[in-house]
Chain A
């Protein structure tokens, strides 16, 4: 007003028709979007594929799973087929052996052999000698160490090769490795699924209702988590026996607590959100609130944490097998094979190396995959542990 009064002449000299009233009874009507609708999971997918490391991890997991399914039937040997005459055989894959790369050629070091005998086809069949080392004279005898193709040395055909060697009972490591991977993955996936199932229900109820219900339910989880894990698991297996089921149950018996806590925290995070309040003012019943409004919003952390729980379940299973609480023989698992391989590490390192590579790949891949998923589900958490 003051502004107007001070400059009255200036304002009044502007002709009236130059003033136009803006936004009077203007109907608001928005235009249609040009883009395609992007749903939540599409959005996650777009973010996920940007993360190269986790895509590679996902591919590795996929390949390992394929091998875990098809691997055992690719070899002619069965996982429990014993060949007492062919124990601790070195790995040989004929196609790779032909390339002379020095790997998978069934090479085995025979020490202190008489040089003269090497040409005797009775003792050393045609083409079995790969490399001669350390020629020396001992008591006038020409002594050498010699690398032989052990399969030819034993008089076996190429078709009978153990691709990854055999173990102390002459069982095919290839077959056992993939069957063990299958068993380990099954144990891990099933136990994590059970964890998530129990944990989501328990955590939802605890987190949604809060108050006294929450108080009692959380004290119960604290009691459960206060027992040392290894004691509980050991006792459980001793009571229930060493089957696949009891190993799964022993992993579930304590681990669901973590999932329950995580889900509860998610519920506390989301239940006060305005859209949940809005749904309550519309009269949405509790069950629908839990499963339609709160749970879908916490699905990201749940999927991520269960992905990260899988390698730790694999590891736990291996650990149990390692301390002798694993599956009943002859059923293989990665842990059983590792614990066997470790005993002969110095003489037959390949028996340890292959299961170790597979378990390492699984652990790294699942961790990377889980991290990628977490970043995709919730970009604000990028880089946080």
Chain B
């Protein structure tokens, strides 16, 4: 994989939400990360840590407070002209978490999938229908399903309709916002495998947001860990699982349930307490501890992490 070509660069991205008259909630706190073309980037963290906000800010459902987002070197943050918006909507697509509420109950499957096409000027109904049928086949549904309404489908089927909708505009980058967390475990694998296949076929880059670490590890090439709006650790998937450095990452990994009841019983859960960091003298920032492995830490902590890695070897 050509790691050099960046498809998405996020620089110092901040996102504040107004809560009340004066108070603000900082959902994203100076997030910086690059996503390379063709990779699966996993983003994990607990509920409310800003994963979804990051995804939605990238596709510009939200207007970022500060910072910059570059897509293929073109800035897509700040004020958008109509052509900028067209550029974003035709290159980025999103798959949503909830298969029930992400499909409009008043539209048929065909209308849902073909909407993006129609906006892009595909007026010919026969042509639209053909594209829709191909997409439906691709996601394992039948062309006969096109005239149905979403409520007639199961959760997994609906999620696949959502995937078909995202693929209809032929994007190069897909933000998958917890696409499997609302699904049954048996369906999760089905949808994940489908995503993997389609990714290979269409040469996509995927930002995969999830809180299920097992799924993320299976799916992702690189993984970013977020904690309260801050990206605390970023590394290759195997590296992160084998050598977690940040205490929050360690705590997350210790929470993965083991499929062996005897070991699960003896498992030691680690709890993360932000008070372990002493940031009074040295300010923390995202630093590269070893090539490709970034940790949000202050200088003394980085020294300590490096030592830890040495010993680990």
Residues on A lying within 8 angstroms of B by beta carbon are 1-3, 6, 23, 27-33, 35, 37-40, 273-275, 277-285, 288, 292-293, 296-297
Contacts and interface: CB of A to CB of B under 8 A. Distances in A.
Interface string B91-123: 011101110011111111000000110011000
Given A278-B96, A279-B115, A282-B115, A28 B194 contact: yes
Nearest to A274: B102
Given A1-B260, A2-B263, A39-B149, 18 more contacts: A1-B263, A28-B190, A30-B141, A31-B142, A32-B142, A37-B108, A37-B149, A38-B152, A40-B106, A275-B104, A278-B102, A281-B61, A281-B92, A282-B93, A283-B90, A283-B116, A283-B119, A297-B105
Interface string B67-108: 000000000000000000110111011101110011111111
Given A1-B260, A275-B101, A284-B119, A296 B194 contact: no
A293 B142 contact: no
Interface of B: 56, 59, 61, 85-86, 88-90, 92-94, 96-98, 101-108, 115-116, 119-120, 140-142, 144-145, 147-149, 152, 157, 160, 162, 165, 169, 189-190, 194, 260-263
Contacts, number: 98
A288 B118 CA distance: 12
A30 B145 contact: yes
Given A30-B141, A33-B145, A273-B101, A3 B262 contact: yes
A23 B188 CA distance: 13
Contact of A37 (B90, B93, B147): B147
9 contacts: A23-B189, A33-B145, A40-B105, A273-B101, A279-B115, A281-B92, A282-B169, A283-B90, A293-B104
A284 B86 CA distance: 10
Given A296-B106, A297-B106, A283 B85 contact: yes
A135 B287 CA distance: 116
Nearest to A283: B89
Given A2-B262, A30-B142, A33-B148, A281 B89 contact: yes
Contacts of B116: 282-283
A282 B89 contact: yes
A283 B106 CA distance: 19
Among A30, A31, A273, A297, the one with the most B-chain Cβ atoms within 10 Å of its Cβ is A30
B3 to A, nearest CB: 27
Contacts of B85: 283
Contacts of B190: 28
Contacts of B56: 277
Contacts of B89: 281-283
